[in-house]
Amino acid sequence: EIKAILEGGKRVAYGARAINEGGWQSVPQLAFPGGVLAGCSGGFVNVPRIKGSHTAMKSGMLAADSIAAAIAADRAQDTLQDYDDAVRASWIAKELKLVQNAEPLVAKWGGELGTILAGADMWLRTLFGFGVAKPMKHHTDASSLQRADLYQPTEYPKPDGKISFDRLTSVSFSFTNHEEEQPCHLKLKDPAIPTAVNLPLYAGPEARYCPAGV
C-alpha cells in the first residue's frame, strides 16, 4: 500500500534525527562545571503530544538567566545548580510529570493496552491529579540485551535505489554537519570490554547504536 504511494517519487531529504523520549524520569543532572544541558539535549519532549520546542526554549531562557547572573558575579567554570533547580521548579516539570508514565506503560503493556492505559493515566493526572499508577521507571537498555547466539540475523532486501535506499547515501541527504576533528564524547571505562565481551557474546551492539550507522 505504501509502495504504491511512493512509486515515481524522488528522494529529496532524509530525517536523520533522534528524539530523547524518556520523559521526566530520564531528565539528567542539567548542570556541570562550565556547562549546562538545555534545549532538546535535556530531554524535555512531551511525547504523547509530540511537542518539545516550547519546553526546550523555556529551558534555554532559564539557562540564559543563570549564565547571565554567573557572569555578572564574575563566576566561571562552576556548576550552575540554580539553573537545574529552576527547571525542576518550572512549568516544564509540571507539564512533563503529567505524562511521565506514557512511555513506561506502553513499554510494559504493549501498543494497544499500553496506549489505553497511558492515555487514561495522562488525563487522570491532568484532570484530577492522580494516575492509574505511581510514577514509573524505565527498564535499562542493558536489561533488554540478550546473547547473539539466541537469535538469527535479520536479512533485509537489498535497496533498489527507487523505493528503498542504502543508509550511507540517505545520511548524505540529511544535510547534517559535524566538525571533522570533533572529539568523541563517548568514553569507555574499560577499553577491553568491546572486544573481550561485547563482540563475542552480543555481536558488537555498539555498531548498531545509531540507526543511521553513524
| Interatomic CA distance for residues 132 and 135, integer angstroms | 9
> Could you give the count of Cα atoms lying within 13 Å of 31 in the half-sphere of its Cβ?
20
CA gap 98, 120 in Å, rounded = 11
Entry pTM: 0.76
Q: Where are the domains of the chain?
A: 24-142, 143-208
**Cβ–Cβ under 8 Å, residues 101 and 20:** no
Fold of 24-142: FAD/NAD(P)-binding domain (3.50.50)
Mind listing the pLDDT tens digit for each residue in 8-40?
999 999 887 778 888 999 999 999 998 999 998
Nearest to 45 by CA among 67, 26, 70: 26
What pLDDT score was predicted for residue 195? 94
> How far does the chain reach from its first CA to its final CA, in angstroms?
30
Q: What is the pLDDT, as a whole number, of residue 206?
A: 86
Q: What percent of the chain has pLDDT over 90?
A: 62
Instruction: Report how far residue 148's alpha carbon sits from residue 153's, in angstroms, rounded to the nearest whole number.
Output: 9
Distance CA 96, CA 89 (A): 12
Q: Is the pLDDT of residue 2 over 80?
A: yes
